[in-house]
């Protein structure tokens, strides 16, 4: 018996029943066991390439609008929407008065700071008070804040975190309006000056129109007392223009 079989290209070919059965088994083994279209298709036909989808530019989300007065800003800095803000970490509120003689902008809060509930706590704060006293200032004359006002053990700043903290810190300085700004540690120096403490110290900088000097954090000085002489030089440099 001879069977007539139509192949995919549309050609009709005569073959024996055994040949037709063999071809059908091959199709079934290949997974071709259902009809995929009603009409035959010319598989050699040249088709136009599918159009390449046009890329749509996505505008980056605008940065959050920061509060425009100091009282609101201080509340915002300890809220969940602030840089590094989280409901699981302990917020450390800034303290001090607007237009203070000096603003101390410290690293992210540590364990001692969280325990004391202030931007610089424990032995580091005792040393900070002695540093202020050495330049003729009382603790009450200082406005003290952290770069990011949340204590999060083991937290590390990503590039995005650092940029967000830097924008907030600049706004903080602008609203607090201190006469001088002392950056304590690598975090504030990197955020506001783009340099680590070792590179930034020994020079006068300007942040939001405020005379600024970077130096070592009191925590660092407690572990490396040999660096206190350099910190003293930085304090003198900060106060150099005092009338």
The confidence band for 39, taking pLDDT boundaries of 50, 70 and 90, is low
- Inter-residue contact 67 to 73 (CB < 8 Å): yes
Domain spanning 70-239: CATH superfamily: Uracil-DNA glycosylase-like domain (3.40.470.10)
Residue 59 has pLDDT above 60, yes or no: no
The SS3 of residue 95 is strand
Query: With b meaning 16 or more CB within 10 Å and e meaning fewer, what string describes 127-157?
Result: bbbebbeebebeeeebbbbbbbbbbbeeeeb
Q: What is the pLDDT of residues 73-103, one digit of tens each?
A: 999 999 988 888 876 778 999 999 999 999 9
The confidence band for 42, taking pLDDT boundaries of 50, 70 and 90, is low
Cα distance between the two ends of the chain:
117
Q: What is the mean pLDDT of residues 216-231?
A: 97
Tokens (6 digits) for 134: 């050495």
| Distance, CA of 75 to CA of 92 (rounded, Å) | 11
Q: What is the pLDDT of residues 143-183, one digit of tens each?
A: 999 999 888 777 788 899 999 999 999 999 999 999 999 99
Instruction: Name the more confident of 63 and 168.
Output: 168
| Per-domain residue ranges of the chain | 70-239
pLDDT score of 61:
45
- Inter-residue contact 195 to 114 (CB < 8 Å): no
């Amino acid at each position: 018996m001879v069977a007539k079989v139509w192949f995919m290209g549309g050609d009709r070919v005569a073959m024996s029943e055994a040949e037709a059965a063999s071809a059908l088994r091959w199709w079934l083994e290949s997974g071709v066991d259902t009809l995929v279209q009603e009409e035959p298709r010319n598989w050699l036909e040249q088709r136009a390439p599918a159009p390449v989808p046009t890329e749509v530019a996505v505008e980056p989300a605008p940065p959050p609008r920061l509060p425009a007065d100091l009282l609101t800003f201080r509340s915002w800095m300890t809220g969940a929407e602030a840089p590094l803000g989280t409901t699981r970490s302990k917020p450390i509120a800034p303290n001090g008065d607007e237009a203070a003689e000096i603003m101390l902008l410290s690293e992210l809060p540590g364990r001692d700071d969280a325990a004391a509930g202030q931007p610089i706590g424990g032995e580091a704060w005792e040393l900070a008070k002695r540093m202020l006293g050495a330049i003729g200032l009382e603790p009450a004359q200082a406005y003290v804040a952290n770069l990011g006002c949340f204590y999060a053990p083991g937290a590390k700043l990503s590039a995005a975190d650092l940029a967000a903290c830097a924008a907030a810190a600049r706004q903080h300085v602008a609203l607090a309006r201190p006469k001088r700004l002392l950056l304590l540690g690598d975090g504030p120096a990197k955020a506001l000056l783009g340099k680590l403490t070792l590179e930034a110290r020994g020079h006068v900088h300007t942040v939001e129109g405020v005379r600024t000097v970077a130096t070592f954090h009191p925590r660092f000085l407690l572990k490396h007392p040999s660096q206190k002489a350099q910190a003293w030089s930085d304090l003198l440099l900060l106060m150099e223009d005092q009338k």
